[in-house]
Chains A and B, each alone.
Chain A
Amino acid sequence: MEATIPVLILAIPLFMFLFLGLLGKFMSHKMAGILGTAGMGVTLLLAYFTAYVYFFSGTPEFVDAAGNRLQFVVFNVDWLQFYENLVIRLGFLLDPISAMMLVVITTISFMVHLYSNGYMRDHHGVYEHGFQRIYAFLALFSFSMLGLVVATNIFQMYIFWELVGASSYLLIGFYYVKPSAVSASKKAFIVTRFADLGFLIGILILSYYTGTFSFTDLTSVNVATDTFAVNLGTADHIKNIFANSAVPVFMGGSVLTWALVLIFMGGMGKSAMLPLHIWLPDAMEGPTPVSALIHAATMVVAGVYLVARLFPLYLMETTALEIITVVGAVTALYAAMVACTQLDIKRVLAFSTISQIAFMMVSLGVARPEFHEGLGYMASMFHLFTHAMFKALLFLCAGAIIHAVGSNDYTSMHGLRKHMPVTHITFLIGCLAIAGIIPFSGFFSKDEILSSCLGHGWVPYVWMSFVAGLTAFYMFRLYFLIFWWKEHKVPQGHHQPHDQAWPMTVPLVILAAITCVAGFIPFGKLVSWDGVSYDFMAHFDWSVASVSLLVAVVAILIAMKMYMKENPLPEKMRNALPALWTWCYHRFYWDELYMFITHKIIFNGICRPIAWFDRHIIDGTMDGFAYVTNKASYAIRGLQSGKIQMYVWVYLIGVLLLGLVTAICLL
């Protein structure tokens, strides 16, 4: 494949960022919006073309004679050399997951670009302050995210990982006059930075022992001979390096496991896994389209993508995978429980995102080549794809509702179904998909995840099924509270809420359509961990499917009973379990815990004492030297009084003393 198109896929968003960032203020708002959207549109077409060529052209560089998909490095240029072999390169790697991610990112990004044309205006069509800025930042984000998924080596991924974090910082803090937005953006950056520290150390360990950053060297998957193993040469080689190193075991874990867990820590930060999840709910301070793009569909799945990218390495030491499973399972349950109690529509969606990403993590964690050809891996990627579509849809619907009502709070919504029919239907489709109702896309992907959990054991299966039920419950709680519950009351002086203009409605319809049909994509034929295509419907377990379907339907019915019509049942439930409700509502006090650690311990307990120590002890010592010197010179300056009598006295005493000493010595 020629490098032109892949280069353009990265270059266009970067150019749009510089162009709109530097020259945006010299053009009209409308112009900036059109240019930004058009730029993303071209990128979308190029990315679709690339993905199409990769998956369907059948060119020998992408697919071998047996029909297995291969990794292909389109270009790879040296960027920074450390040693002869250890070089950071910037390149473009095409393989099933990167091609899939190209599609996901450009689709959602384009929808968000289009949608923002309508969202970033008020009801009178007046553009918001900083309209050009948001397009510049969106372009920067798209560039960084695309660079991340096509990375050919782990350091390139880290570079774009940081860039993604920075653009997320800029976008969360878009309304920079609002203190809450400023602190949310700061929190997001610092929490993910902390996680990236782990990622960085993991990279250092991994590259130190293996002497390479390159994904193709680290994880090359042999599809020609032995289907269900990592390229045996590579795997043995890497394992041997670690086993033969000076310190093969460190604090009870092998060094390879440590490296993998530390790298996963980076993923935990970006993907908001417990306990590094606290930034994501706050990140909802950003404009809603941004939340849809970054904090629902693309950036937050970077952690999943990272693990998937290094999956063959993780298979070498499955301890790390067990850790991923546990972290994912706990997070999934935690976030689902919290989502059941939140009042802010975007926060519910945020926690639901955390929970769904945890599903993907669990799926990767339980994936083993022995079980259904690594079904979990495929399921995770499948869920990533479908979730990106329906979660972006839900967020964009939420944006339309917020735009219409002017508030994030449920309590000011209620009964919107008559006022906003398009939004209502599309939101319902999103809810059905996330709840896992056939035939919407979420049903298929979630079912694959549950099947692979079952393949791993009963505990993860039951656990995750329960979480899936909770998901259906809280999503329909949200749905009924927004669109039903009671008739909508328009506050004095407000407009009737209504469906929004076409730039906002069209993306909803398109995403809803994708959500309806995406489940029928033969995903196993396209994406699998070792490139071997297979028909996952062959593994489709109808018993699992019917159970999960039953769970979802029951959960929806409960939600319907509780929230469709105004009734005292929710109040009663809350009073029945007050402690549980309070803990969920306050998100299990994680934020307070972090506040305590950062402010009380780190800020007041470390930073302040160090600053005091510096001023008073270290600097005090230096000043002390000066003081002593000063005092000493004052003390002895009396000797140089200039009085001749005194000099004579001193002279005489000196002579006497000297004489005395001489005399004593001579005697």
Chain B
Amino acid sequence: MFSNILIYFVVIPVIMLAGLALCRNIKQIRAVAVTGSLALTALSIYLLVDYLGLRAAGHTEQMLFTGAWDWFKPLHIQLAVGVDGISVAMLILSSIILLTGSFASWKINPLPKEFFLWLILLSTGVFGFFISIDLFTMFMFYEVALIPMYLLIGVWGSGNKNYSAMKLTLMLMGGSAFLMLGLIGIYYHSSANPETLTWNLLEISQNGAISKGWQYFLFPMTFVGFGVLGAMFPFHTWSPDGHASAPTAVSMLHAGVLMKLGGYGCFRVAIYLMPEAANDLAWIFLILTGISVVYGAFSACVQTDLKYINAYSSVSHCGLVLFAILMLNTTAMTGAIMQMLSHGLMTALFFALIGMIYGRTHTRDITKMGGLMKIMPFLAVCYVIAGMASLGLPGLSGFVAEMTIFVGSFEHADMFHRVFTIVACCSIVITAVYILRVVGKLLLGPVQDEHHLKLTDAEWWERTATVTLIISVAAIGCFPNFFADLIRWTFSSDIFSVIGMN
């Protein structure tokens, strides 16, 4: 079992949890958090190299590094792991965000130990989710990632935190209920022979035993279940409140990684296992996600709280992810995964910066701040870069992801898809409006509050966090083909031949 590299994505966080439990002061806590997340980052990069090596050596299986160990035999529950390019990309994303999140919570107060314990537990869930290919363990890790959120927001949050924590948890749990129902349904139709039912994704898709009628029922269940976490209209309202109340690192992990669980799940479970229903029912969700894209962007234009602006911008960008997944062709789906990476990194960067600014000015209201460029140039420049990434400046990650999505979506020649693609394209203009509005009000212009004049610029740990994220964003933006190739491989397999894709 421990010969499989993937297991260590769960083992390391568990060791970190044990290490944290032994810590006595903030320095030790920081040491454990940073060492652990560095180890995870190193591991994910090693995995990437190894993965590419195996692919180059001609391994053409759907998933590599697979392994399965029985967990509960009577129900065929296994701890089954395996990764393809998409999971590898997601693992890298998660480890980078955990690393930068640890730096961003350098001075977390109060109860630093407990904070990191819950944060690492959350990450355990995230990593476990991305390596699992067994639906049951996948769901378990999914829940492990969601529950700590309640405490993290409820205890370390700000503002109306009890309400937000409750709302977020309840809404996501509501999604989970749908999801559980869907997953159990999939299990009972996973194989034609009742003796060989399975939770294993690969086996289910090979069996192809889910009848079309059941797909029509199970696809919406799973898609909505994961879609809630992906902030799909109209189930997105947990996002603004939740993000606004969450502490910095939690916002980063939540918007950066957890929302990606939604998109990943939609693809990996809903579409991967039920392509026929996906093909037939995509239009319903295309309408919803198409609305998400422009609706989120328009809403972001009038918000005055920095975190609300970003939360609505996440609704818009994550809407684009689901929108592109539903286009069901290689290019658009590649773009969707790139958008997940891109949005994860840049939104983490945004939330990190907002946290840093908030830690100094003690307000997130853009009408009460101004001219921060003069006071804290480093943070301000980073904010501008994050904004540029968000509005799709070439050379940063947003551009390549969006363009891949648009080119892919445009492949559908019928009027319905065309109209929605063009509607989605309009978001690039609206995004520019709200990003530049914030930049103009917050960073440029004269200094609004003279108390801000004595504030200081970023400390070294803050610089580490932001620079790491900016480099990652620029790496995707400058060398997109590397990431696109990594991701595209999955879609070029014959799994989607059912619906005449490719």
A interface residues with partner B (beta carbon < 8 Å): 78-83, 86, 88, 155, 159-160, 162-163, 166, 169, 173, 176-179, 182-183, 186, 189-190, 193-194, 196-197, 200-201, 204-205, 207-208, 245-247, 603, 606-608, 610-611, 614, 618-619, 621-623, 626
Chain B 416-451, CB within 8 Å of chain A: the 1/0 string? 000001100110110011001100100111100000
A163 to B422, CA, bound (A): 22
- Contact of B407 with A by CB under 8 A: yes
- Contact of B383 with A by CB under 8 A: no
Contact: A610 with B436, CB < 8 Å? no
Contact: A186 with B299, CB < 8 Å? no
- Contact of B281 with A by CB under 8 A: no
A658 to B462, CA, bound (A): 71
Contact: A80 with B444, CB < 8 Å? no
A169 to B484, CA, bound (A): 30
A-B contact pairs, 28 of them (CB 8 A): A80-B403, A80-B481, A81-B481, A159-B394, A162-B392, A162-B394, A163-B393, A173-B444, A178-B445, A182-B445, A186-B437, A190-B436, A193-B391, A194-B429, A197-B428, A200-B406, A200-B425, A200-B428, A204-B407, A204-B421, A207-B407, A606-B298, A607-B298, A608-B302, A610-B295, A618-B233, A618-B236, A622-B167
Closest to A193 in B: B432
A619 to B331, CA, bound (A): 34
Contact: A626 with B170, CB < 8 Å? yes
Closest to A620 in B: B237
B343 CB to nearest chain A CB (Å): 18
- Contact of B210 with A by CB under 8 A: no
- Contact of B208 with A by CB under 8 A: no
A81 to B483, CA, bound (A): 11
- Contact of B205 with A by CB under 8 A: no
A169 to B295, CA, bound (A): 26
A267 to B373, CA, bound (A): 32
**Which DSSP category, helix, strand, loop or mixed, fits chain B's interface?**
helix
A318 to B480, CA, bound (A): 37
Most buried by A among B234, B374, B392, B444: B444
| A190-B436, A607-B302 known; A208 vs B410 contact (CB < 8 Å) | yes
Chain B positions 347-394 with a Cβ under 8 Å from a chain A Cβ:
371, 373-374, 388, 391-394
| A80-B400, A80-B480, A193-B429 known; A607 vs B301 contact (CB < 8 Å) | yes
Contact: B302 with A603, CB < 8 Å? yes
Contact of B299 among A173, A196, A607, A621 (CB under 8 A): A607
A83 to B392, CA, bound (A): 21
Instruction: Please name all residues of chain A whose beta carbon is closer than 8 Å to the beta carbon of B425 when the two chains form the complex.
Output: 197, 200-201, 204
A618 to B446, CA, bound (A): 37
Known: A204-B421, A205-B410, A618-B237; 20 extra A-B contacts, CB below 8 A, are A80-B400, A80-B403, A81-B485, A82-B408, A155-B403, A159-B394, A162-B394, A169-B436, A186-B437, A190-B433, A197-B426, A200-B406, A200-B425, A201-B422, A208-B410, A208-B413, A608-B302, A611-B303, A618-B236, A622-B171
Closest to B294 in A: A610
Contact: B484 with A81, CB < 8 Å? yes
Contact: B446 with A179, CB < 8 Å? yes
- Contact of B150 with A by CB under 8 A: no
Most buried by A among B170, B234, B238, B436: B436
Contact of A79 among B233, B411, B481 (CB under 8 A): B481
Contact: B404 with A80, CB < 8 Å? yes
| A179-B445, A190-B436, A622-B171 known; A162 vs B399 contact (CB < 8 Å) | yes
Contact of A614 among B237, B331, B399 (CB under 8 A): B237
6 tightest Cβ-Cβ pairs between the two chains A and B = A159-B394, A619-B237, A176-B444, A607-B301, A182-B444, A204-B410
A189 to B391, CA, bound (A): 11
- Contact of B67 with A by CB under 8 A: no
| A82-B331, A177-B446, A190-B433 known; A614 vs B295 contact (CB < 8 Å) | yes
Most buried by B among A205, A618, A621: A618
Contact: A610 with B298, CB < 8 Å? yes
Contact: A186 with B440, CB < 8 Å? yes
- Contact of B395 with A by CB under 8 A: yes
Closest to A195 in B: B429
Size range of the chain B interface in the assembly: 35 or more
Closest to A83 in B: B331
Closest to B315 in A: A614
A618 to B239, CA, bound (A): 13
Closest to A159 in B: B394
| A200-B406, A200-B425 known; A622 vs B237 contact (CB < 8 Å) | yes
Contact of B480 among A79, A190, A246, A603 (CB under 8 A): A79
Contact: A190 with B432, CB < 8 Å? yes
A48 to B464, CA, bound (A): 43
B177 CB to nearest chain A CB (Å): 13
Most buried by B among A80, A173, A205, A626: A80
Closest to B394 in A: A159
Number of A-B contacts (CB under 8 A): 119
Contact of B371 among A169, A177, A196, A610 (CB under 8 A): A177
A606 to B388, CA, bound (A): 24
B237 CB to nearest chain A CB (Å): 4
A197 to B411, CA, bound (A): 18
Contact: A204 with B406, CB < 8 Å? yes
B211 CB to nearest chain A CB (Å): 33
| A176-B373, A190-B432, A200-B428 known; A208 vs B480 contact (CB < 8 Å) | no
A385 to B485, CA, bound (A): 42
B312 CB to nearest chain A CB (Å): 8
Most buried by B among A82, A197, A619: A82
Closest to A129 in B: B374
A625 CB to nearest chain B CB (Å): 9
Closest to B421 in A: A204
Contact: B426 with A183, CB < 8 Å? no
A151 to B494, CA, bound (A): 36
Instruction: Please name all residues of chain A whose beta carbon is closer than 8 Å to the beta carbon of B234 when the two chains form the complex.
Output: 618, 621
Instruction: Please name all residues of chain B whose beta carbon is closer than 8 Å to the beta carbon of A178 when the two chains form the complex.
Output: 445
Instruction: Please name all residues of chain A whose beta carbon is closer than 8 Å to the beta carbon of B408 when the two chains form the complex.
Output: 82
Closest to B404 in A: A82
A626 to B174, CA, bound (A): 12
Instruction: Please name all residues of chain B whose beta carbon is closer than 8 Å to the beta carbon of A86 when the two chains form the complex.
Output: 407
Closest to B437 in A: A186
Instruction: Please name all residues of chain A whose beta carbon is closer than 8 Å to the beta carbon of B236 when the two chains form the complex.
Output: 618
Closest to B380 in A: A176
B483 CB to nearest chain A CB (Å): 9
Instruction: Please name all residues of chain B whose beta carbon is closer than 8 Å to the beta carbon of A155 when the two chains form the complex.
Output: 403
A535 CB to nearest chain B CB (Å): 41
A611 to B433, CA, bound (A): 15
A324 CB to nearest chain B CB (Å): 23
Most buried by A among B167, B303, B433, B437: B433
A620 CB to nearest chain B CB (Å): 9
| A197-B428, A608-B302 known; A176 vs B445 contact (CB < 8 Å) | yes
Closest to A87 in B: B481
Contact: B428 with A193, CB < 8 Å? yes
Closest to A77 in B: B481
Contact: B394 with A163, CB < 8 Å? yes
Closest to B329 in A: A83
Contact: B299 with A611, CB < 8 Å? yes
Instruction: Please name all residues of chain B whose beta carbon is closer than 8 Å to the beta carbon of A197 when the two chains form the complex.
Output: 425-426, 428-429
A622 to B236, CA, bound (A): 10
Most buried by A among B393, B407, B485: B407
A652 to B410, CA, bound (A): 70
Chain B 234-269, CB within 8 Å of chain A: the 1/0 string? 101110000000000000000000000000000000
A512 to B205, CA, bound (A): 73
A200 to B405, CA, bound (A): 12
Contact: B394 with A610, CB < 8 Å? no
Chain B positions 38-62 with a Cβ under 8 Å from a chain A Cβ:
none
Contact: A183 with B440, CB < 8 Å? yes
A247 to B414, CA, bound (A): 9
Instruction: Please name all residues of chain A whose beta carbon is closer than 8 Å to the beta carbon of B393 when the two chains form the complex.
Output: 162-163, 166
B484 CB to nearest chain A CB (Å): 6
Instruction: Please name all residues of chain B whose beta carbon is closer than 8 Å to the beta carbon of A182 when the two chains form the complex.
Output: 440, 444-445
